[in-house]
Amino acid sequence: MGRPVALITGGSRGVGAAVARALAPEYDLLLGGRESTALQHVCAELGARPWPVELTDERAVAEAVAGVERLDVLVHSAGVARLGTIAELPAVAWREMFEVNVTAVATLTRLLLPALRIARGHVVMINSGSGRRAAPNWGAYAASKFALRALADALRLEEADNGVRVTTVYPGRVDTDMQRSVREQEGGEYEPGRYLAPESVARAVLATLGTGDDAHVTEIIVRPAAGPLT
């Protein structure tokens, strides 16, 4: 048997790329990502295989996973955030977030369950603090992350007898391009030093995967040491 295999979505930057770097010494990697240049760069750095699939296209996803017979780790890190009040945010923004943050996750997981069952693998869902608490202007995003939490909880119970473990990671605000975009949407300044480093979230994921067969870490909350933004 060769090295274990991990598939990471959103692997071209941010938390996904940090998780890829943390897993690279021990895993053969398949990395997904929308930005082809960035994805190729990370893959070349880590010796990973690019997996540039549009996650909202079920047919394309099904074709892309057809050759994956065994999968030890599946990390869902891809996601989008659109902010706005309930009164203002249009339906298209709600649909986009639920399509990317929930439906695409459920579809990819479903298609890879046979490979995960063979490996008695591990599914890691990178959620958000918004998956535990909603705030003004974050209602739609939080709703998608609450749904992702429910998806993980149900999957964990359904797949327990198949040996598939499911962990949800709830990071606070992370120092990523997505966070900069969010701060722009909020109309606030980006404050370096107030956010988690992507590598800190990656270390939490790596620790979860390193637990023995007798342990199942179901949830991890990682908050910035500097405290919440005002």
List of residues 6+ apart from 200 with CB closer than 8 A: 222
The closest alpha carbon to 124, from 28, 220, 14, belongs to 220
Of 141, 170, 190, 195, the catalytic one is 141
**141 in active site:** yes
Contact 101, 80 (CB under 8 A): yes
- Residue identified by tokens 């010494």 is 25
For residue 227, give both structure tokens.
């405290």
List of residues 6+ apart from 218 with CB closer than 8 A: 156, 166, 167, 168
For residue 35, give both structure tokens.
């930005």
Q: How far apart are CA 220 and CA 127, in angstroms?
A: 10
3-state SS of 127-188? CCHHHCCCCCCCHHHHHHHHHHHHHHHHHHHHCHHHCCEEEEEEECCECCHHHHHHHHHHCC
Residues taking part in catalysis: 141
